[in-house]
Chains A and B, each alone.
Chain A
Amino acid sequence: MNRKWSAAALAGALTLAGCSSDLPATQAPGGTSESAKAKSEFFDQSEFERQLRFRTAKAVGLDSQDGAAKPWEQALEPQLADTAKYAKPGGGYHLCFSNASVDNPWRQVGFKTMKEEVKLHPEITKFTVLDAEAKDDKQISDIQSLASQGCSALVVSPNTTATLTPAVEAACATGVPVIVFDRGVKTSCPVTFIHPIGGFAFGADGAEFLKDKVKPGGKVLALRILPGVDVLEQRWAAADQIFSGSQVKVVGVEFTNGDAAKTKSIVNEYIQREGKIDGVWMDAGATAVAAVEAFQDAGAAIPPFVGEDQQDFLRMWADEKMTAVAPTYPTYQWRTPVIAALRVLGGKQVPREWVLPQPKVTQDTLKDFIKQDMPPLHYAMCGCEGMPGYPAPWK
């Protein structure tokens, strides 16, 4: 009996340990107050501050030709690492890519951009892509299968962080340079990890805008897609932090599941319940247009809005002369892994953590990003307008 209990306790402890490995590994040492902890387990004071600092830091080109480097070639505070051991001059490269999924417009725009970037480089003679269809187990076997296909370099966009870590470590062990981008992994073995500034900066961009535009005591509605996804949780954690230090009143935080009809119903109900909504914050812009329509259909004035850089929202913003801001998680980051792979194979240095600038679309820059002939769900910050095939592949 006693033995059974201890076995159960052990099993429980193991499960707990297993679970806790999925939590953010770094807690801010000392800096995290009790109230911040109570707010969100995803809030991390030191990372929050780092990302806010990055927003105003100057991004630099890697080969000290600042003027010429495009945003997707730039990096913030790069710590360059030597890659001489991977150098393989001469071209004829076989680039491999294990993609988490292409199941949303953001990833579709990104992936198209990446394919066009590959076409720009004749040194890449073969480009092999395996799509994990948003399944961890499929991506693990994808990475294993790519390991035996003679890749010159392997690019990985992990489906989830913790689960894919061992697979990425195994790939590193084969001696092929591994480049990780978008979501990260918990190992330092990849040559570089490429990502825009991050979720805290994204969330803060929108929240600061509303803090500025909504009068003190004004009612803000926060719309989130779903709980538990770390990138989205970070966006909200940052916004929550900024709202709690401001005069605006968050009257509701609702999950929309990314569904336009549900979003519209929720916003409609809040307009009825509160009488007036003075600002809308969103953790992603996919349903921003539905939320704006809810105000139109209710005959209410459209308040200051936080959206994203999708064409449908940008057009609505311009057509309705809205007060809005669009933080972005730029799709141009899909170009960078290809550029990084070629630098590594060419023996050039790359940053260990390649932090890309993460611009936002503002009133002043809005007209530059509206492309009337592009599909409504196209992401404006694709960095693809200058590419030779533009715009056909993105349509």
Chain B
Amino acid sequence: MRARPRLTGGTGPVLVVLLVLLVALAFAGPAYAEPSGYLALLKRAAPLVVLAVGQYFVIVSGGFDLSVGSLVTAEVVVAARLVDGDDANTWWVIALLLGCGILVGLVNGLITTKLLVPSFIVTLGMLLVLDGAVFLWSGGAPRGALSPSFRVLGRGSAEVPVLGQLPWSVIVLLVVVVAAVWFMRGGTGRLLLALGDNENVVRLAGGGVDRLRLLAFVLSALLASVAAILLAGFAGVSAQVGDGLEFRAITAVVLGGVLLGGGRGSVVAAAAGALSLEALFSLLNLLGVSGALESAVQGVIIIAAVAYAAHGAGLRRMLRRPVLDTV
């Protein structure tokens, strides 16, 4: 029994990858010679990390959430229309967005658990429904504008003692990650992990399977709403803001070593996966590799990570055996 806090198994490799990427960034770009460069990276990565944490809850419990990208787009477009450039509207619109997120998560979760439709299909359907709804409502071109106070969370910085200027999005990111770690270490978090590993065991042990799944989808959609608020703040209104974000989040999660199908992986690793992905893209850009390669890189990561998960156990045993022999 060790008393010191330890990382969940499987977190190590992605942290090594992240460290290598961060060091490589320092060599590749002069901007990374000082902390502000990394802070800018963290600020850019914040929405993706938040999304990846949400996606982690669903994936680790054995599902998928493909609807987060279009949920982000829908919320940004809706926010612009409702805020309409007026600071007085900021707070109720933010509350409304979070509420909409919870609602979408509830719908995803209820259809998955009560109608027994696979989550892949439910959330794919939700993606199309939200895409269509946004198009119908906006006619393809967002109207209205965000107020300066709405954009503070994604764009502005807070004065923090000792550290100086810290972007709000980085603060949100830290809060989300710490809360997620705390949650996963509690009883409900452990049950969620067990659910992805073996649903029957959880059911027989008296865990509320449906309730847990529902919770995972609600958390994912809620965090997608937070990401939407950060993204809208970061860059303003756009009808393309969420394009491909769901696959980015899934890539980030599997890059963190979380097993597709659930049951294994840590939330810290998922967050580190998202940060690694963002760092990787920044590095590729610094090295002058075209941005068009991003999707290809994502595809390779997903395939390689899943293949590793399928064959990795045997590979690890093979690597470990000599060590065990010497003991």
Contacts and interface: CB of A to CB of B under 8 A. Distances in A.
A108 B139 contact: yes
A251 B199 CA distance: 54
Interface stretch (A90-98, A262-270, A362-370): A262-270
Interface string A243-279: 0000000000011011111011110111111010000
Contacts of A102: 139-141
Nearest to B291: A254
B31 A255 contact: no
30 contacts: A102-B139, A102-B141, A103-B135, A103-B139, A103-B141, A104-B140, A104-B141, A105-B141, A107-B141, A108-B140, A108-B141, A254-B291, A255-B292, A257-B240, A260-B240, A260-B241, A261-B47, A261-B234, A261-B241, A263-B235, A264-B234, A266-B285, A268-B44, A273-B286, A275-B30, A289-B236, A297-B155, A375-B144, A376-B237, A377-B142
Nearest to A131: B139
A116 interface: no
B231 A273 contact: no
In the A-B complex, the 9 residue pairs with the closest CB atoms: A103-B140, A272-B31, A260-B235, A261-B235, A105-B141, A259-B240, A260-B238, A264-B235, A269-B285
Given A255-B291, A260-B241, A269-B282, A290 B236 contact: yes
A11 B237 CA distance: 46
Interface string B120-140: 000000000000000100011
Contacts of A268: 40, 44
B235 A273 contact: no
B210 interface: no
Most B CB within 10 A of own CB, among A260, A263, A266, A290: A260
A290 B233 CA distance: 11
B207 interface: no
Given A261-B234, A376-B145, 14 more contacts: A102-B140, A107-B141, A260-B236, A261-B231, A266-B285, A269-B282, A269-B286, A272-B32, A272-B40, A273-B285, A273-B286, A298-B40, A376-B237, A377-B142
B165 to A, nearest CB: 10
B46 to A, nearest CB: 11
Interface residues of A, number: 35
Contacts of A108: 139-141
Interface of A: 101-105, 107-108, 254-255, 257-261, 263-266, 268-273, 275, 287, 289-290, 293, 297-298, 312, 375-377
Given A103-B139, A272-B31, A273-B286, A287 B238 contact: yes
Nearest to B294: A262
B15 to A, nearest CB: 23
Contacts, number: 86
A265 B141 CA distance: 22
B243 A101 contact: no
Nearest to A289: B236
Contacts of B140: 101-104, 108
A106 to B, nearest CB: 8
A269 B282 CA distance: 7
A297 B152 CA distance: 12
Contacts of A105: 141
B141 A377 contact: yes
Nearest to A101: B140
Nearest to A258: B240
Most A CB within 10 A of own CB, among B47, B234, B238: B238
B294 to A, nearest CB: 10
Contacts of B292: 255
A268 B286 CA distance: 11
Nearest to B25: A272
